[in-house]
Amino acid sequence: MPFRSALDEPGFATQQVHAGEHDDAAFGARITPIYLSAGFRFDDFAQARDRFAGDDQGYVYTRAGNPTNSALERRLAELERGRDAVVVASGQAALAVAVLAVAKAGDHVLSAQSVYSGTRSLFTQGFGRFGIEVEFVDDARDLDEWRRRIRPNTRALYAESIANPTNDVIDLSGVSEVAQAAGVPFIVDNTLATPYLVRPIEHGADLVVHSASKFLSGHGAALGGVVVDAGTFNWSATPGAFPHLTEPDTGLQGASYLEAHGAGAYTAYIRGVTAALFGPVLSPFNAFLIQQGIETLSLRVGRQSSTAAALATWLEDQPEVLSVNYAGLPSNPSHDLAERYLPRGQGAVLSFVLDGGEASAEAFYDAVELFSRMSHIGDTRSLILHPATTTHAHLDADTRARGRISGGLLRLSVGLEEPEDLVRDLERGFAAVRATVQQRLQAASALPTDDVTDAATNALLEGSTL
């Protein structure tokens, strides 16, 4: 059972350490053990039969459940204020099983425009092959647009609490009200915020997903994902919308998932169908590593968010920077929503656009020494990436433009280093940008007059003011 404090409401730090912890009656181990077992022994014929029939809730096979994984699920459900959670092999797997448990061929999903590039690819390429259409609203802040673009076959609304890498903040309560009025669940990816900064379920979200590989684990040593169900969505409110949950199922001896599992129907369907049959199972070893990371979540994310805010403010004052994407800045279009939903901090991922386009970004990127160049976020180490030539390179220019992914954009994931050391490292990047601009000016000055004019024009077209 989940940890219950004598207090009415245990604090977040208490929950992240104790919630869902496993009671090792056999040996008294204080830390949840790693149950590295593919399957689990049955005592007798009757127990095997009852477990497969669902009358005995004991473990059968790790693909369908494991004690180490269950402990992590309980902790994450508690931290997100959900009824139940299901852990899977990655964040991508979490989103896949979450959507496949609400939508089928011929259905429609409506998403915010600004989403992680892997999510966009899953939506447009992966789900497209399954016959599920995903559309993107042009302006996620415009609740009327969300309403207008809902169709009779829409089965979910989707957004990220803090968008990666543009740092847009979604109006959780506003979009959840739109979803509720339409009779569809609102799915929120809370990877960048984590439940320490915001709990989307408290603002009306029905389902929450995470890449647990990021801030939840914090150490960059494990892949994992989770789907958290609030347990409050009425799956039978719209007749025929979710037949896989409301109609008789042969695997349940003719009962429906709602009849057999009540408020737990959605997570039961994921465990029994989308996760179990497609097979993106989380290794118990990775579950253990993620659980260890969660125990320091508030300490890490609190410090990382504070450092990110300081860096964003500093970056905004640099003459080589055209714009900074960080919702904690008063100049950011999402600042009002950040103040409303993220009072503890606005996260540790930010991006900024350099004058000079890709050439400046390349010079900056290659000059830093403390920031690790890699496509990851949420690590204790600070990371840097150039999205336009890496994570978003497969997208066409128009799609990148709609997502505000320009050649001069660099993404930072802020770690636990001293802020002063990070500033010094970023100064190396700016020095390299200035040196690059100087070299281009010198090269242009060596050309004949007409060529100098052409060179200056070309530089401006590339995004540099020289």
Q: Is the model more confident about 23 or about 323?
A: 323
How many Å separate Cα 203 from the centre of its chain? 17
Considering the chain, what is the average pLDDT of its residues? 92
Asked if the model's pLDDT at residue 155 lies above 70, the reply is yes
Q: Is the model more confident about 288 or about 27?
A: 288
Specify the pLDDT at position 8: 67
Percentage with pLDDT > 90 across the chain: 80
Specify the pLDDT at position 353: 96
Q: Is the model more confident about 273 or about 24?
A: 273
Work out the pLDDT band at 305, boundaries 50, 70, 90. Answer: very high
pLDDT tens digits along 388-431: 898 888 877 888 888 788 889 999 999 999 999 999 999 999 99
Number of neighbouring beta carbons within 10 Å of residue 453: 12
Asked if the model's pLDDT at residue 190 lies above 70, the reply is yes
With a CB cutoff of 8 Å and minimum separation 6, the contacts of 431 are 367
Rounded Cα distance, 183 and 139, in Å: 22
Q: Is the model more confident about 458 or about 62?
A: 62
Number of neighbouring beta carbons within 10 Å of residue 430: 19
Tell me the average pLDDT across 213-223: 97
Instruction: Flag the least confident range among 186-190, 236-240, 263-267, 436-440.
Output: 436-440
Specify the pLDDT at position 44: 95
Asked if residue 98 lies in contact with residue 187, where contact means CB atoms within 8 angstroms, the answer is yes
Number of neighbouring beta carbons within 10 Å of residue 306: 17
Work out the pLDDT band at 465, boundaries 50, 70, 90. Answer: very low
Asked if residue 403 lies in contact with residue 124, where contact means CB atoms within 8 angstroms, the answer is no
Handedness of CA 59, 61, 63, 67 (dihedral sign): positive
Asked if the model's pLDDT at residue 322 lies above 90, the reply is yes
Specify the pLDDT at position 449: 54
Tell me the average pLDDT across 428-448: 84
How many H helices and E strands in the chain? 20, 12
Percentage with pLDDT > 70 across the chain: 94
Specify the pLDDT at position 451: 55
Tell me the average pLDDT across 353-372: 95
Specify the pLDDT at position 30: 85
Asked if the model's pLDDT at residue 373 lies above 90, the reply is yes
Work out the pLDDT band at 450, boundaries 50, 70, 90. Answer: low
Q: Is the pTM of this model over 0.85?
A: yes
Tell me the average pLDDT across 447-451: 61
Specify the pLDDT at position 9: 77
Asked if the model's pLDDT at residue 259 lies above 70, the reply is yes
C-alpha distances out from residue 153 to 175, 285, 315, 376, 394, Å:
18, 40, 45, 35, 29
Handedness of CA 124, 126, 129, 131 (dihedral sign): negative
Specify the pLDDT at position 397: 83
Asked if the model's pLDDT at residue 382 lies above 80, the reply is yes
pLDDT tens digits along 11-65: 999 999 999 887 777 778 888 999 999 999 999 999 999 998 888 989 999 999 9
Q: Is the model more confident about 161 or about 462?
A: 161
What residue ranges define each of the domains in the chain, with the CATH number in brackets? 12-294 (3.40.640.10), 297-461 (3.90.1150.10)
- Amino acid present at 6: A
pLDDT tens digits along 76-101: 999 999 999 999 999 999 999 999 99
